[in-house]
Amino acid sequence: MSKPRYKTTNWKQYNKALINRGSLTFWIDEETIAEWKQNKQGKRGRPRRFSDLAITTALMVKRIFSMPLRALQGFLDSVFKLANIPLV
């Protein structure tokens, strides 16, 4: 049995739907931005740069999009750059 074909009557809406199909939106709330960097540890050794929240979030994005580590780094850098949020 063949696949049914539909006639498109509203091309403007159809084109917009095709464009929105590739849209990607990230929400970054103020609390997350405040907790992104690691607080003072009070221990010896080199201090951590990012918090456990930042590392967990990055690894979730890595897993969802099946990205290698360096691609993830570039992706998160560009997301924060587009949002005008200083990452480091």
**pLDDT tens-digit profile of 13-45?**
988 888 888 778 888 888 888 888 877 777 787
CB-CB contact of 53 with 37 (8 Å): no
Domain spans, the chain: 30-38+47-88
Angstrom distances, CA of residue 19 to CA of 14, 78, 82, 83: 9, 21, 19, 21
Distance CA 17, CA 5 (A): 18
Average pLDDT over residues 64-78: 91
The answer, yes or no, to whether residue 54 has pLDDT greater than 90, is no
User: What does residue 63 show for φ and ψ, rounded to 5 degrees?
Assistant: -70, -40
Residue 36: CB atoms within 10 A of its CB come to 19
pLDDT confidence tier of residue 68, bands split at 50, 70 and 90:
very high
List, in sequence order, the alpha helices (H) in 36-68: 52-65
User: What does residue 50 show for φ and ψ, rounded to 5 degrees?
Assistant: -120, 155
The answer, yes or no, to whether residue 11 has pLDDT greater than 90, is no
